[in-house]
Amino acid sequence: MSATAVTTTDARIPLRGHLRHTGALVRRNLLWIRQDPESMFDAVLFPVVFTLLFVYVFGGSIGQALGGGQEAYVQYVVPGLMAMMGMNMAMGVGTGFNQDFNTGVMDRFRSLPIGRGSVLFAKIAVELFRMFIATTIMLVVGVLVGFDIENWTGLLAAVGLAAVFGTALMWVFITLGVVMKNAQSVQAMGFLVLVPLQFGSSIFAPTASMPNWLQNFTDYNPLSALADAARGLMVGGPVAHALWVTLAWSVAITAVMAPIAVHKFRTKN
């Protein structure tokens, strides 16, 4: 189907139709998860593994540098892990999208009289659901190992901020899912992006002891801003600057990548 035909089809569908189609596709994706529970392993196991790993492997040494031992590190790292969860879950959109193209599911969708944008928004909605599941599990594990939630309103705001940034990143991975040949390529490209951003940030450790060149990188790393904002909202500390930087990155990424993702999706043969 040509891009012109797709655009014409979308234009004939009213907003209520797009919403109905999105809801139906969300239900389809949730039913698929129900039939294939293994697809939730990353959302369920990653939060447990990463929380326990960093608290018990690095908590003692980094916690001493923070001046409070493992208890201090728990308060530091759990809000940072929230930022990492959003980024890891965003990658699932790209791999799932790519698999749908390669298995012919997208061809089936294109043959139906539905809004093409509903396919994208349904994927994003389901990945947000998975992200909330992962974040909830991470917080439960964090509380079990000593994390003290000092501000419940701030906690909800931090979850919302992570969701906003995670949604922005999903447009990046949707684009990768469309242009890459297979899911393995999407994962490989994703890890090449994720690993430097995650470890070159303030998620796992303060940046003061890092080399100057790496500190300069962390200053512009959106994950550092998100982790610092979540930390300030949940356990106290400066919030305003990190909050606005995170929102600015989210808007900029969405403004650039969403049109590219939609265009690539509509024109892919």
pLDDT surpasses 80 at 268:
no
DSSP the chain: --HHHHHHHHHHS-HHHHHHHHHHHHHHHHHHHHH-GGGGHHHHHHHHHHHHHHHHHHHHHHHHHHTSHHHHHHHHHHHHHHHHHHHHHHHHHHHHHHHHHHTTHHHHHHTSSS-HHHHHHHHHHHHHHHHHHHHHHHHHHHHHTT-----HHHHHHHHHHHHHHHHHHHHHHHHHHHHSSSHHHHHHHHHHHHHHHHHTSSSSS-STTS-HHHHHHHHH-HHHHHHHHHHHHHH-S--HHHHHHHHHHHHHHHHHHHHHHHHHHHH--
pLDDT surpasses 70 at 8:
no
pLDDT surpasses 60 at 78:
yes
- Rounded CA-CA distance 195/175 in Å is 19
Which residue has 């439960």 as its token pair? 140
142, 120, 50, 147: which is closest to 263 by C-alpha?
Answer: 120
pLDDT surpasses 60 at 4:
no
Instruction: Report residue 3 as tokens.
Output: 């891009």
Instruction: Report residue 84 as tokens.
Output: 């990492």
pLDDT surpasses 50 at 152:
yes
pLDDT surpasses 70 at 9:
no
On the CB side of 139, CA atoms within 13 Å amount to: 19
Q: Is the Cβ–Cβ distance between 51 and 142 less than 8 Å?
A: yes
Q: How many residues does the chain have?
A: 269
**Per-residue pLDDT tens over the stretch 42-65:** 788 888 998 999 898 888 888 777
232, 269, 180: which is closest to 2 by C-alpha?
Answer: 269
What does each C-alpha distance from 129 to 19, 28, 137 come to in angstroms? Answer: 17, 14, 13
pLDDT-derived band of residue 15, with 50, 70 and 90 as boundaries? low
pLDDT of residue 13: 67
**Per-residue pLDDT tens over the stretch 99-129:** 877 777 777 776 766 666 788 888 899 889 9
**Per-residue pLDDT tens over the stretch 204-214:** 888 888 888 88
The pTM of the full predicted model, rounded to 2 decimals, is: 0.87
What value does the mean pLDDT take over residues 26-30?
83
